[in-house]
Amino acid sequence: MRRKPDLWQVLVPVIAIAAGLLFATTAHTARGTDLRSAGNSNIAELIRGAEQSVSSYSAQLNTLQSEVAAQTNVLAQSDAGIAAINDHAKHLIVPVGLSAMTGPGLSVTLDDAHGTPTDPNVNLNRLVVHQSDMQALVNALWKGGAEAIAVMGQRLISTSAIRCVGPTLLLNGRVFSPPYSVAAIGPEAAMRSALDSSPGLIQYREDARFYGLGYKVDSEDKINVPAYGAPIGLNYAQAGQ
């Protein structure tokens, strides 16, 4: 009496044929490309696209501001009220950071650790530069008498806010990746002393020695700090009516 074929003896060839057809169809469809949507997976490109938009709008803003300033100066020649406002504003341009400055000072660089820790129990948060580290650095420079500070080429003013978003730095509507460079015009000795005595930077330097974080301070004979170019108006919440 012939034994009926086992169910698995029938299904295995069928499954193998179906899998082969699936692989062949996928290879033909892909044609050597990635079937996954790049729009869903490539966040870095979205960030770069946003940065390009910000740069484009910033250039337009600078052009419009220059045109407004030129027209205001022309109008001030025939309007005493505008002329008085212009004269008063001239004394505020430098203190508020709307004028580029050049002078001696310090350049400071903070960077994430690049080596792989040998201790598996190391807190990975100790291997990256945090918002608190950047804020401690900037505060120390101000305390040391800095006259003008730029972070990643962006001028800081009294309303500037340094924020970290994941592993990146957000400043003046732009996103930056480490290493983070800070340039400060001011008295070198006083600023160095303020950096050395800052509690936040003391901890950072300990982590730098132990985990390999980057920390570099250089004296500079000439530092160029650009004028602040982002919007000056304050944004704040209001209670609903």
Write the pLDDT tens digit of every residue in 152-190.
Answer: 999 999 888 888 887 888 888 788 999 999 999 999 999
Give the separation between CA 134 and CA 164, rounded to whole angstroms.
9
For residue range 91-120, what is the model confidence (pLDDT) as tens digits?
Answer: 777 777 788 999 999 999 999 998 776 677
Q: Is the pLDDT of residue 90 over 70?
A: yes
SS3 44: helix
Per-residue pLDDT band at 35 (split at 50, 70, 90): very low
What are the boundaries of each domain within the chain? 42-93, 101-225
Distance (Å) of CA 66 to CA 52, 59, 99: 21, 11, 13
101-225: CATH topology is Alpha-Beta Plaits (3.30.70)
Tell me which residue has tokens 């201790």. 119
Give the separation between CA 140 and CA 209, rounded to whole angstroms.
20
Q: Output the DSSP codes for 98-156.
A: -S-EEEEEEEEEEE---SPPS-TT--GGGGS--HHHHHHHHHHHHHTT-SEEEETTEEP
Among residues of the chain, what percentage have pLDDT more than 70?
A: 74
Say which DSSP state 205 is in: H
